[in-house]
Amino acid sequence: MLPSNFTINGTDISQFKIVKKHYNESYMVQEEINNLQDEILEKTGYNIPIVEDSYVAEGDCEIIVGNAERQ
* Distance in angstroms (rounded) separating the CA atoms of residues 70 and 64: 8
Q: Does the reported pTM lie above 0.85? A: no
Cβ-based neighbour number of residue 23 at 10 Å: 9
Q: Which residues make beta-bridge pairs with 52? A: 20
Helices (H), the chain: 27-44
pLDDT over 80 at 32, yes or no: yes
* Distance in angstroms (rounded) separating the CA atoms of residues 71 and 53: 11
Q: What is the pLDDT of residue 40?
A: 92
pLDDT over 60 at 60, yes or no: yes
The mean predicted confidence, pLDDT, of the chain is 88
Q: What is the pLDDT of residue 4?
A: 60
Q: What is the pLDDT of residue 58?
A: 93
* Distance in angstroms (rounded) separating the CA atoms of residues 12 and 46: 10
